[in-house]
Amino acid sequence: MSVEIADSLEARPRPHGVAVVVEGVRGCMTSRGDKAHANMITRRGRFRDESRTRHEFLSAVYRATDSRPGNLFP
């Protein structure tokens, strides 16, 4: 799914990079007390090739999700 979202974002207007973060939770698993989080990060262009850009992006994602249970980077 994250690849399809990245494809659609990359189609127009041809950005220098695209990054997509998807976090999902399976309700059937969490209702039983299991930790059932699925995380996916898709990076292209500058977000993949340039370490500084990649680090800034991942740091922002980490800060945004750090205080929530089941965050992307436990």
Q: What angle do CA 7, 9, 15 make, to 5 degrees?
A: 110
Half-sphere exposure of 46 (CA within 13 A, CB side): 9
Place of tokens 């089941």: 70
**Helix (H) or strand (E) segment spanning residue 23:** strand 17-25
Asked whether 23 and 62 are in contact (CB, 8 A), the reply is no
Where in the chain are the domains? 2-58
What is the reported pTM? 0.62
pLDDT tens digits for range 29-73:
666 766 666 677 888 999 899 999 988 888 888 777 665 545 554
pLDDT tens digits for range 4-27:
988 888 887 888 899 888 877 767
Place of tokens 């977000």: 47
